[in-house]
Amino acid sequence: MNRQDELQELLKELDAPVEALEGTLQRAKRRRAGRQRVMAGFAGLAAVFVLFVGLVNFSAPVAYACSKIPIIKELAEAVTFSRSLSDAVENEYVQPMNLQKEDGGVTATVEYLIVDQKQVNVFFRLDSDYYESLATDPEVRTADGKRPQSCAYSISEFGVENGELRCLTIDFVEDDVPEALRIVMDIRDTGDLYRQESESAAPQKVSDSLFDAQEEVVEYVAYFEFVLEFDPTFTATGKVFDINQTLELDGQQITFTKMEVYPTHLRVNIAESQENTAWLKSLFFYIETDWGMQFDTISNGISATGAEDSKSMVSFRADSSYFYEAKDLRIVVTGAEFLNKDMEKVYVNLKTGETGTLPENVRFVSATKESEGWIVSFEADYRKENHRHQLFLGDFYDESGERYEINCWSTIFGEENENGEITTFVEEFPLNGYSGDEVWLSPNYSHVWTAQEPIEIVVK
């Protein structure tokens, strides 16, 4: 009997148990809120997870065959947004979890993890018979409740409906992933906000919504804490390659120090010369194998991290080559984004529109004074490699140097060319509570550099 025949026999044997367990899960979800508890049982369901995680990862045909079972199909579909995570699933690299809690009419279930030495991807779902649409404000802590150092995280749940899988990515910048983490989730009812907007008699001005977003006091409808313990087989996995090659990019000395290859992502680490006149903000590159397979940079979620003593990004993320045998790997650099050190602050006269030197291809549009402060708009060229990129950071200053914060931005598409391609976009943000006519903004970059020819760095 071949592997496909074995699989079909296994599917037949598991058909009835899976249906029964699905009913058990739905009954658990319908139980009234107010009694928080971890649903650590469901041993049968956990066994099905363990068995099928191994099977679904042997090959793509096996994954497709398993897709007729709803629970396996959902696992495969949940990682389609990331090539690295899809590769991890296809290579038996999933840790099943089965944790469930209820609070305030909401059920939260942690389904499974994709974790390695530097990153944790938590796949979970929220469900409710009461709330139409839910959103998560997560916080990551150590198992004993402390805040971990050198840790960044992002959540992928925009447009995800109740009951569907969501993903929380936790990226450890310097430290390794610990043996366990505590995940705290505050849950918001976003459906109520949508209803208020649709029922409003008069349309709200964009400026009003920006000020409201900055001042919004969030009311949470549910609260969850999950302690996740990681299998050391996964958290000890990674490959590090020394590079130590220095390149001159747009007149700046950039040393490529290491490449770190993990199942969930790849990191290219750099160091910069203190003599450089600009900070490196973005690096445009891809990874190539000796037979020509390419791995692109990560465009969503955590794409780069910086250092405390530098305004440069010092570690850049790309899709991982971990599960591919390659005799040689190459970093191919095609361009970079820099911030000149003499452009860390840019002057803008909000009343007259006069400005200092703005970032490349960025134009002042308007500044409107409202009772709550100013609404400022800038137009920029739409870039293929970085789309609607962020123009300014979240801090600005008055004439005396006092610091203020921007907590929200709005971007809209601008002009189109004769082929219907978008050529510009407008970034708008509030200077909430600011009454002065002059302001100093913090640009995210000053200019973009493009290599005349791609620059190759051989890693191994």
**For the ranges 135-149, 378-392, 427-441, which has the lowest average pLDDT?**
378-392
**In degrees, to the nearest 5, what angle opens at C-alpha 92 toward C-alphas 86 and 98?**
90
pLDDT, greater one: 422 or 109: 109
The CA distance from 55 to 43, in Å, is: 19
All residues at 6 or more sequence positions from 211 whose CB lies less than 8 Å from its CB, including other chains? 370, 372, 373, 430, 432
Tokens of 414: 């601008």
Domain identity same for 444 and 404: yes
Same domain, 354 and 442: yes
* Last residue within a domain, chosen from 220, 235, 250: 235
pLDDT at 211: 66
Q: Is the dihedral of CA 74, 80, 84, 86 positive or negative?
A: positive
Please tell me whether residues 194 and 312 are part of one structural domain. no
Are both 222 and 255 inside the same structural domain?
no
Which residues are within 8 A (CB) of 243 and not within 5 positions of it... i.e. 6 or more apart? 256, 257, 258, 259, 331, 457, 459
pLDDT, residue 212, reads 65
pLDDT of residue 316: 96
Same domain membership, residue 261 and residue 173: no
* pLDDT tens digits along 301-318: 789 998 877 789 999 999
Residues 172 and 306 in one domain: no
Lowest mean pLDDT: which of 35-49, 210-224, 247-261, 299-313?
Answer: 35-49
- Read off the pLDDT of residues 46-66 as tens digits, 9 standing for 90 and up: 333 333 333 333 333 333 334
* 148 lies in the same domain as 245: no
- Is pLDDT above 80 for 265? yes
Residues 244 and 211 in one domain: no
CA angle 347, 350, 352 (to 5 degrees): 100
- CATH number of the domain to which 50 belongs: 2.60.40.1640
Exposed / middle / buried, residue 47 (Cβ in 10 Å: 0-12, 13-18, 19+): middle
Same domain membership, residue 406 and residue 375: yes
Q: Is-contact 321 295, C-beta < 8 A?
A: yes
Nearest Cα to Cα of residue 121 among 158, 159, 95, 147: 95
Count of the separate structural domains present in the chain? 2
**At which of 214, 235, 256 does a domain end?**
235
pLDDT at 3 over 60: no
Q: Are residues 64 and 165 in the same domain?
A: yes
What pLDDT band is residue 283 in, cutting at 50, 70 and 90? very high
Q: Averaged over 18-31, what is the pLDDT?
A: 36
- End residue of a domain, out of 215, 235, 255: 235
262 in the same domain as 180: no
Average pLDDT, the chain: 81
Whether residues 70 and 166 fall in one domain? yes
List the strands of the sheet with 165-172, edge to edge.
95-103, 106-115, 119-127, 165-172, 151-156
- Give the burial class of 19: count Cβ atoms within 10 A of its Cβ; 0-12 exposed, 13-18 middle, 19 or more buried: exposed
Question: Residue 279's pLDDT is what?
Answer: 97
- What 3-state DSSP class applies to 162? coil
Its domain, for residue 230, covers: 3-235
Entry pTM: 0.77
**How far is the CA of 459 from the CAs of 174, 268, 396, in angstroms?**
21, 10, 41
- Smallest CA-to-CA distance from 277 within 359, 333, 343 is with 343
Give the residue-averaged pLDDT of 419-432. 89
